[in-house]
Structure 1
Amino acid sequence: MAEQVDEILRAGKAPYFHGLVVMRGGEVVLERYGSGPDYRLNEPLGHVEFGRDTLHDLRSVSKSVVALLYGIALGEGLVPEPGAGLVAQFPEYRDLVADPARAHLTIEHALTMTLGLEWNEDAPYTSPDNSEIAMELAPDRYRYVLERPVIEEAGKRWLYCGGASAVLGGIIARGAGRPLEEYARTVLFEPLGISTYEWSKGTDGTASAAAGLRLRPVDLAAIGQLVLDGGRDIVPGEWLQEALRPRVVIAQDFEYGYQWYVGTGERRWVEGIGNGGQRLLVRSEDELVVAVTGGEYNQAQASAEAVLEAVLDA
């Protein structure tokens, strides 16, 4: 495996590569780090020499971590079951709660990104034309999401939506009675021995549930190992089974669970995927966890794909 990965890196086939941690059978079997320009969301960090202790944006892999946090909070009785009404969790928006077109929205629709609301993240993540960026700039992120025009019945079609993750983060924080990042620290990070992390915040001071988490790749891999292990005593096992079950088709052999991607082809896998080449892949049949970080932001993830392919082929 190391030989295949090193050949990819030597040949310059992964120019945006930043970090790789591979675990097998619960042990780290390979680590590699690179260098290059990086960002904290849209804040330039300059040229970075990456190592084991360097934090890295997870971008939308943050969403998959939020799904784990929802399961923990559900097990503690802090948040409603997925079948509960979504808009009802924000009673201060009386006009939206009273809107019959939104009455059928549930938390599960947010978990599966099937809200049926207008949302577009095709524009670059540096532009307010991107719905997620517009949400971050809005005076009230939760109202911004929940008041989007209804364009179709919920539950029918997967549409990528960082706003869904933001709303889930808000429900967790309200249920826990503290900010999302503080709840994550006590119920997930500290039990896993993760002592160093950051969670970028919007202008309103709220952690970006959709894209703001920053971890060391080795700690991202530890979260993947937790998933592989069935949650241990940290995430309820029943929740993980539900979260990782394929629920909505994205493409052939590629589906979505609760904020996790699910490969449904010949070899089953689950994965968190983030802009720039951030990947967390878990394949239970091989007892394999692969964490990749990269700097290919707002582009195809060719570098991450090359490194992942080298690991999986090996």
Structure 2
Amino acid sequence: MAEQVDEILRAGKAPYFHGLVVMRGGKVVLERYGSGPDYRLGDSLGHVEFDRDTLHDLRSVSKSVVALLYGIALGEGLVPEPGAGLVAQFPEYQDLVADPARAHLTVEHALTMTLGLEWNEDAPYTSPANSELAMEQAPDRYRYVLERPVIEKAGKRWLYCGGASALLGGIIARGVGKPLEEYAATALFAPLGINAVEWSRGGHGTVSAAAGLRLRPMDLAAIGQLVLDGGRDIVPGAWLQELLRPRVVIDQGFEYGYQWYVSTGESRWAGAIGNGGQRLLVRAEDELVVAVTAGEYDQGQASAVAVLEAVLDA
């Protein structure tokens, strides 16, 4: 495995590569780190020499971590079941609560990104045409999401939506009675021995549930191992089964659970994916966990895919 990965890196086939941690059977079997320009969301960090202790943006992998936190809070009876009404969790928006066109929305529709609301994240994340950026610039991020025009019945089609993750983060924070990052620190990170954490804040002073988490690749891999191990009494095992169950088709052999991607093709795996090449892959059949970080922001995932394929092929 090391030989295949090193060949990819030597050949320059992963120019934006930043970090890799591979675990098998619960043990770290490979680590590699690179260097290059990096960013904390949109803020330049300059040229960074990455090592084991360097935090890295996880971008939308944050969404998958938030889904784990939802399950922990659900097990503690602090947040509603997925079948509960979504808009009702934000009773301050009485006009939206009373809107019959939104009455069928549930928390599960947010978990599966099937809200049926108008949303566009195809535009660059520096453009006001991007719905996630517009959400962060709006006076009220939760209202911004919930009042988007209804374009179809919820539950019918997957449409990538950072706003759905923002709503989940808000529901967790309200239910547990503390900011999302504080709950994450005690409920998930501390039990895993994860102490080095940053969580970037959006335009409202609230952490970005959709994209703001920063961890070491080693700690990202530890989260993957937790999932592979069935939750280890940190995340309820029953929740993990629900979270990783394919629920909506994205493409052939590629589906979505609760804020996690699930491969249903020849190679079965579950994973989290973030802008620029942030990847967490869990494959139960060979007890494999792979965490990759990269800096190909708003350009693609080619560097991460090249390294990931080298690992899987080995």
Deviation at 1:63, TM superposition (A): 0.3
Q: Percent identity?
A: 88
* CA distance in structure 2 between the aligned counterparts of 1:46 and 1:188, rounded to whole angstroms: 31
Tell me what 1:283 maps to: 283
* CA distance in structure 2 between the aligned counterparts of 1:126 and 1:290, rounded to whole angstroms: 29
* CA distance in structure 2 between the aligned counterparts of 1:126 and 1:28, rounded to whole angstroms: 37
Tell me what 1:293 maps to: 293
Tell me what 1:112 maps to: 112
* CA distance in structure 1 between the aligned counterparts of 2:71 and 2:293, rounded to whole angstroms: 25
Question: 1:17-166 counterparts in 2 under 5 A?
Answer: 17-166=17-166
Tell me what 2:189 maps to: 189
* CA distance in structure 2 between the aligned counterparts of 1:50 and 1:119, rounded to whole angstroms: 35
| CA deviations over 1:97-117 (Å, ceiling 9, x no partner) | 000000000000000000000
Q: Give the aligned residue type for 2:230.
A: G
TM-score, normalised via structure 2 length:
1.00
Q: Give the aligned residue type for 1:285.
A: E
Tell me what 2:12 maps to: 12
Tell me what 2:210 maps to: 210
Tell me what 1:303 maps to: 303
* CA distance in structure 1 between the aligned counterparts of 2:107 and 2:211, rounded to whole angstroms: 19
* CA distance in structure 2 between the aligned counterparts of 1:126 and 1:230, rounded to whole angstroms: 38
* CA distance in structure 2 between the aligned counterparts of 1:45 and 1:137, rounded to whole angstroms: 23
Aligned residues: 314
* CA distance in structure 1 between the aligned counterparts of 2:299 and 2:112, rounded to whole angstroms: 24
1:122 is paired with a residue whose SS is coil
1:21 is paired with a residue whose SS is strand
Q: Give the aligned residue type for 1:41.
A: L
1:59 is paired with a residue whose SS is coil
* CA distance in structure 2 between the aligned counterparts of 1:203 and 1:301, rounded to whole angstroms: 27
Deviation at 1:128, TM superposition (A): 1.2
Unaligned runs of 5+ in 1: none
Unaligned runs of 5+ in 2: none
* CA distance in structure 2 between the aligned counterparts of 1:178 and 1:128, rounded to whole angstroms: 30
TM-score, normalised via structure 1 length:
1.00
